[in-house]
A = this chain, B = another copy of it.
Amino acid sequence: MAQVARLAEVSIATVSFVVNDDPKAKTLTQATRDRVLEAVRMLDYRPNLQARGLRTQRSHSIAVLTDHLTAVPFANSTIRGVQERAWAGGYLVTTMTTDDNAELAAHAVEMVLARQFDAVIVTTAYTHEVTVPSEFAAMPLVLLNCFSGDGYRTVLPGERAGARSAAKVLIDAGHTRIGFINGLRTTWAAGERRLGYRDALREAGLEYDRTLVRSGTYETDSGYRHAMALLDRADPPTAIMCASDRMAVGAYYAAYQRGLRIPEDLSVVGYDNHTEFSEHAVPAMTTVSLPYYEMGLAAVDLLLAPERAGKGGAAAGAGGTAGAATGAAGGTRVVASTTSGATGSHVTEIACEPVIRQSVAAPSSRPRARVQHPVGSPIDAPAPRERVPLEVTS
């Protein structure tokens, strides 16, 4: 920096002013400004951000603490979303995986504190309650895909509305008896989705038949078994909605085994938009996508755009290279943004949008196939598209 100053024949302070284009120093000759910039280029000077951080007491970096990185492919989308917004705001993001290991977690906490991270995002592979280390009490922090009851700002997927819209897709197609293979009863998502399913039924004036609702494990097997049970009833549903694409795949198999074609004889909708399954299924599966990427964006927005909310909210930093951050959750559809009086917590729900593909049609009136197909395919994995009979469009 001193070199730059010398080369540009100005003082060090002046250099500082122009590299940060400090508003206070609006009174700079364009000439000197150019001289400095030129010198900067000549020496390819780069401000030392560690030094700047020391001086300003901020690191311009945010930490993402996550329990598992490997578990879900979706985790990556979250990280991408976070990075996107963080970089735009001039922040760097470093993610730390704790693997549910207390030692790693402690190390992560230690690092966040010692390295002067400006903010932290606590996130989990699947939505559940977490307990935030008390050391973080004083920092800007948002919960991403998890919640805590400690009053931290929280962003969650709008599961209830998501399930509601999944059911609505079926209802709009004319179905009135809709089986629902929900997820693990103990998970938050399952609770929300049941509510959403009920919401849709109620709105349509449809009866809620609890025997049509089953509790699966999110796995293919489970979806298969429950779908079989549903289809073998005296009064089978004409559509099945599943709480995961994998279970929907199981439903596809069950339908196939019972000689039912999708969507002509049975409509199926999945959840997650786990494309490995839903997009490649035949027929392509109508499902609901989880807005991981958008949630990542929203989390950073919450951090960077200080709200009047209780905890959290870092100072909006000096803009980075790529323009300032837009308003909170700009562009993405926010289902709800509640500030609950009870807990005092502020939760932002990002919409789970339905993804319409080919597995839903109007209920058929023709006799249900009762064919017992030969026991199915030899493998627990995707079949090649081209040889499949039920394919609807290319």
- The residue in chain B whose Cβ has the minimal distance to the Cβ of A257 is B387
Q: Does A2 contact B (CB under 8 A)?
A: no
Contact A256–B384 (Cβ < 8 Å): no
A110 partner residues in chain B, CB cutoff 8 A: 46, 321
Map CB proximity to B onto A360-386 as digits: 1 under 8 Å, 0 otherwise.
Answer: 000000000000011111111111111
- The residue in chain B whose Cβ has the minimal distance to the Cβ of A249 is B381
Contact A280–B380 (Cβ < 8 Å): yes
- The residue in chain B whose Cβ has the minimal distance to the Cβ of A110 is B321
A113 partner residues in chain B, CB cutoff 8 A: 46
Contact pick for A382, options B375, B380, B387, CB 8 Å? B380
Q: How far is the CA of A252 from the CA of B383 in the complex (A)?
A: 9
- The residue in chain B whose Cβ has the minimal distance to the Cβ of A225 is B384
Contact A83–B54 (Cβ < 8 Å): no
How many copies of the chain does the oligomer comprise? 2
Could you tell me the distance in whole angstroms from the C-beta of A393 to the nearest C-beta in chain B?
14
Contact A321–B107 (Cβ < 8 Å): yes
Contact B379–A249 (Cβ < 8 Å): yes
Q: A221-B384, A280-B380 are in contact. Are A70 and B77 (CB under 8 A)?
A: yes
Q: Which of A90-98, A139-147, A185-193 contacts B (4 or more CB under 8 A)?
A: A90-98
Could you tell me the distance in whole angstroms from the C-beta of A352 to the nearest C-beta in chain B?
19
Could you tell me the distance in whole angstroms from the C-beta of A390 to the nearest C-beta in chain B?
5
23 contacts between A and B (CB under 8 A): A46-B114, A48-B116, A50-B50, A83-B96, A83-B97, A92-B94, A220-B385, A221-B385, A249-B379, A249-B383, A252-B379, A252-B381, A256-B379, A276-B276, A276-B381, A277-B381, A281-B379, A376-B388, A377-B388, A378-B388, A378-B389, A379-B388, A382-B382
